[in-house]
Structure 1
């Protein structure tokens, strides 16, 4: 009879295994289907309260149909000029496109540049073409190529959107394959085991499948928005977090298995002893991501709940599927290696030497590492986050970038992407005059019934008119953004005009301003959340403050190094959201490792005193936390396979910052500070009265 309850215990891991196999088998395809509900329409991710966002709605009555412009540019060979025959051929070529699939309305006639060396025409395409967009652009490109003696390019929003879709095309397969391959290789090296790395990978894949299924359902109902960037970050975040948590749990299981010998007891003890640190770590990341809901940028707000869902799914697999498999496999999971207690491995090797160094001279250790981090952080202010020009959005060349350069060589920089002014119809002349008088505006004219500026009487809709202002500077330049700022001042000053200014440049300017506001709001929220969780977990005040300060210093040091590296790589700056994303990921994930360390230090301090508690905690957790940091750095580095500057920059900041945090902050700075402060570091908790 006594064996019946024990047999019943084995039903729990078996049931959990069956449930997760069902989840993986049923929901696995959603990891590849998330792209079906993703949108790469950048207009959908503008600041909610910005002036340029209001213009998007106000301009709709002036558009004969919803459209996305493709700007066709023909360039004559060096030393020659466009002929009248070429102009006629270009006009006929685009006119013949009317009525074809994907073409929204009549293309504009080709018009020559002032230098006589190029032509330009606008072909309006239907919005939301999705996978059909490349084929439609190919038909436009084929028509444009019929003009003899000129090189044809396609620029504008439609071309940029097609290149973005092409860049994200590999996000389901290539990114996932690279990330999982990197994790598997690292795990094989760490464990020197064949089976356990595969179990951890399966757990991460199950977590990703569940997360993608939930996000798919929410995005399909319009509850959340997903773009390629959010999709890519979700995959990397879930794989990295699930692997990190798995490393902590399996390390604890190895210890308990070496002590108890019984695999069921070891699995139960491992969950009990590591669940607090894992859930606290996950809470810092999930709540840090949810702080993005305070952002005024829609894609930031989208990443918040999507990322939090991914983290929750990673915790679920770690605390249910993984211990169930470990309980069933026992020592077999580590084959051909033999599991040993961490204490057996901690008495020798690199972590014993590091602990001995800290024990001998804690003040010298933390002072020298702090000086190093401060020196790196000194370069942080040199990182420009004013946005990137169009020719830096993609890593390497892209067709739309080459086309935009050709357009800029012969037409005003803002051609094809004018500043859009919506104003009261009774003040159209005054608003036009104010716009033309603005420094940096090349031309300004009201849109007419033909759909083009300046060709007839202004088109009036609901008592409002639309005025297109062509800027002299390139639409993505700092000079153009400064012109938009001056333009708004000028037209806002026209009495009774109630004028608002939008368009591509205004959207970039508003996004930049909103991102700066978001950083000022969200950074304190994230730091407050993390501090609160640490206070509750560690039951002290001084140590949590120290941990938050050290991860913030690590972030600034990482930004300083990133500024130097990005400059060497030729980046003029970063997207306005990069520092905020880097902060949320790096600070929240950086605290993870300090939670893993300090929760173990607290456990050891209760038995062995403050000094020995720190040294034993560092020695015991050193290998597993370093492995976790390397895994997370490798998974985020996988984002570099997507040829977009935004993701490459995020990948570098998080990967380098995690390694710096794991190898320097958590290994040297934090333990040396706590040893030097002694029991005072645990004030006002009961450990503040513990013996050294």
Structure 2
């Protein structure tokens, strides 16, 4: 007896030491990751050309420009405008300021002013090779030009052009990190307080999510340095959202199961071990599904999409590691008192009361086919709204605010409606430069073409279209130049936008089937069925269509957006399918568990809904709220993506996953598990007194 007691005490001591060991390991990991996490913003690239594949024409133009004398030019325009018409003093001021800029910086040529026909506007194209590829130097150049080019007394002066637009975009993306993190943390904190109704408990998962986010930044920097993974403001923002959203979901599941085990088990570390055994496999499976879906983005040709796959996966895996190791360790160390004032006492039973999900299960049980038909009609009607989505998003419409570069473009568009104001860059072989120049000038829609720098066997041509930037007519001119100029490459901001749309279209055709196939295979292996995975996948596709349709109904009429980001369809599909199936796993896994324990099909479906509905609803609210944080950001692309995913998660949580999938399971009964063994009715036991044949 004494030996047994001593052994048990030693074993208990070792178990109690485990949380402290885990805590020490995390401190060591964070110390290693800290120098790398702080440098992630240094490798962030947000130029349009950085998003494009290496094979795109506009990317090749930018790369060749880097090798020309002076490197890639930063192109800006300084716009002087007075509503009543420019005075002689205004023109003199403009000339003096441009001369000061030319004297202080290395420009490609002497700027010449171009007056508008109505006399209200004077524009000076200013291009410099001074910064080269250095983004900080480019931003410094643009800001230096803005410091000199100042108006007053009715004279407005605005600096626009591709270089100024890139600087304004970089400032917006660089300003996202702090507000995005703080807003996300505040939203998650508020929801956790409401869910747990405890003044202390919410701090634990929130702090662990913050630590996981910091670790993911260090790992993302390592991927960039080791594998060349592209990092953009959009991908790092999404990574933070995933860490807090998915990580909090896993915390909700674990803490819910831990609270349940504390009522059955006396010691907190034993209760946590039981909780991890109970919900750990489902959390691992769901995170694996999300990671597999995100990694399908590696097949994309677009750099921004391809880079988002690994960064999103890093966020999910860091959240998983933190929530399955650090969170349990902290909860065990804090003991039962962390749940105060609703402390789960050993041997107590929770209060039972009716719930929304019990009512949902009742209607699904009574009229499953009617519920399915009504849900299908509703989702189909909402999906029709996607036909109302505005066209492709132009650069000048990509900000929710109005930075100076956009104001300059609007002034130019109003003052020079008859001509283009944004040059198209052509890179031609030097031995064909004269012929290419003649062909460009003869192309329909070209207003002017001039020869530029030469070097390394290439010559730069500056072409000005007669149509406004990013209009249908200018797009036709760029397409005509690409068809006409054999051996030459056509680039510039408008060409980059065309390549962006074309690449997104190709990526969608490749990535969408990969995501569907990978998720379907994982579900088949996990659920040991073919019908149930098909139901889950069909459900998330329906949710995606409905969420896009709702976006089409509000983006233009309500939000006033002039266009839709070309990558919205693909990225929203990947996230909604991966995250939606995540919740489906929790529901169907519990349904399968109930069936294995002998529950008849309808009872198994309703029990699964009643027991997991509350946790799924809480997790869905948190995830939707974290993505909704993006709608407060100053970039239209982020607002649209955050809105569609948040709406899709809410539809999935409160309609499709909990209501329609349960109704489908009730209607199909055992057939939902076909062709697995659960699809077959259990054998009837032999009648009493009747002997089964015995084989010899």
CA contact (8 A) 1:383 1:562 kept: yes
Answer yes or no: is 1:233 the counterpart of 2:238. yes
Q: Distance in 2 between matches of 1:520 and 1:689?
A: 38
Cα 1:577–1:63 change in 2 (3 A) is: farther
1:149 CA drift (Å)? 6.8
Answer yes or no: is 1:97 the counterpart of 2:101. yes
Match in the other structure for 1:457: none
Cα 1:664–1:253 change in 2 (3 A) is: same
1:504 CA drift (Å)? 1.6
SS at match of 1:378: helix
1:674 CA drift (Å)? 0.7
Answer yes or no: is 1:181 the counterpart of 2:151. no
CA contact (8 A) 1:473 1:480 kept: yes
Q: Distance in 2 between matches of 1:332 and 1:95?
A: 72
Q: Which of 604, 618, 623 matches 2:609?
A: 618
Q: Which of 465, 488, 503 matches 1:471?
A: 465
Q: Which of 65, 76, 84 matches 1:70?
A: 76
1:239 CA drift (Å)? 0.8
Q: Which of 549, 568, 575 matches 1:578?
A: 568
Match in the other structure for 2:113: 110
1:104 CA drift (Å)? 5.8
Q: Deviations over 1:585-608 (max 9, x none)?
A: 111111111111111111111112
Answer yes or no: is 1:592 the counterpart of 2:582. yes
Q: Deviations over 1:236-275 (max 9, x none)?
A: 1111111011111111112222233432222112111212
1:206 CA drift (Å)? 1.4
Match in the other structure for 2:692: none
Q: Distance in 2 between matches of 1:438 and 1:572?
A: 30
Give matches, 1:385-424, under 5 Å.
387-411=392-416, 415=420, 417-424=422-429
Q: Distance in 2 between matches of 1:188 and 1:64?
A: 57
Give matches, 1:217-366, under 5 Å.
217-220=222-225, 223-339=228-344, 344=350, 348-366=354-372
SS at match of 1:679: helix
Q: Deviations over 1:538-588 (max 9, x none)?
A: 111110011001000100011111111102212232111111111111111
Q: Distance in 1 between matches of 2:209 and 2:119?
A: 59
Answer yes or no: is 1:669 the counterpart of 2:660. yes
Q: Which of 508, 519, 522 matches 1:530?
A: 519
CA contact (8 A) 2:201 2:339 kept: yes
Runs of 5+ unmatched residues, structure 1: 452-459, 493-497
Cα 1:106–1:134 change in 2 (3 A) is: same
Q: Which of 193, 209, 218 matches 1:213?
A: 218
Match in the other structure for 1:495: none
Cα 1:71–1:669 change in 2 (3 A) is: same
SS at match of 2:45: coil
1:289 CA drift (Å)? 1.3
1:369 CA drift (Å)? 1.2
Match in the other structure for 2:9: 3
Match in the other structure for 1:660: 651
Superposition TM-score, scaled by structure 2 size: 0.91
SS at match of 1:97: helix
Q: Distance in 2 between matches of 1:466 and 1:229?
A: 32
Cα 1:640–1:413 change in 2 (3 A) is: farther
Q: How large is the Cα RMSD of the aligned pairs?
A: 2.6
1:143 CA drift (Å)? 2.3
Q: Distance in 2 between matches of 1:174 and 1:377?
A: 33
Q: Which of 375, 393, 415 matches 2:381?
A: 375
Between stretches 280-289 and 478-487, larger displacement belongs to 478-487
Cα 1:111–1:63 change in 2 (3 A) is: farther
Q: Distance in 2 between matches of 1:345 and 1:416?
A: 70
Cα 1:440–1:261 change in 2 (3 A) is: farther
Give matches, 1:182-201, under 5 Å.
182-201=187-206
CA contact (8 A) 2:65 2:72 kept: no
Answer yes or no: is 1:681 the counterpart of 2:684. no
Q: Distance in 1 between matches of 2:221 and 2:64?
A: 31
SS at match of 1:121: strand
Match in the other structure for 1:119: 122
Q: Distance in 2 between matches of 1:338 and 1:691?
A: 42
1:17 CA drift (Å)? 2.1
1:158 CA drift (Å)? 2.2
Cα 1:220–1:121 change in 2 (3 A) is: farther
CA contact (8 A) 1:99 1:105 kept: no
Match in the other structure for 2:441: 436
Q: Distance in 2 between matches of 1:65 and 1:95?
A: 23
CA contact (8 A) 2:78 2:160 kept: yes
Match in the other structure for 1:541: 530
SS at match of 2:198: coil
CA contact (8 A) 1:394 1:643 kept: yes
Q: Distance in 2 between matches of 1:429 and 1:551?
A: 56
1:499 CA drift (Å)? 2.7
1:194 CA drift (Å)? 2.2
CA contact (8 A) 1:440 1:473 kept: yes
1:429 CA drift (Å)? 5.0
CA contact (8 A) 2:364 2:371 kept: yes
Match in the other structure for 1:606: 596
Q: Distance in 2 between matches of 1:611 and 1:99?
A: 81
1:88 CA drift (Å)? 5.0
Q: Distance in 2 between matches of 1:672 and 1:636?
A: 28
Cα 1:254–1:511 change in 2 (3 A) is: same
Match in the other structure for 1:157: 162
Between stretches 144-153 and 669-678, larger displacement belongs to 144-153
1:161 CA drift (Å)? 2.0
Cα 1:74–1:469 change in 2 (3 A) is: same
Q: Deviations over 1:495-554 (max 9, x none)?
A: xxx233222211111110010010010000011111011111111111001100100010
Q: Distance in 1 between matches of 2:352 and 2:604?
A: 13
Q: Deviations over 1:141-185 (max 9, x none)?
A: 242226987421100122212221322243232111110111011
Match in the other structure for 2:640: 649
Answer yes or no: is 1:484 the counterpart of 2:484. no
Runs of 5+ unmatched residues, structure 2: 1-5, 684-696
Q: Distance in 1 between matches of 2:113 and 2:446?
A: 22
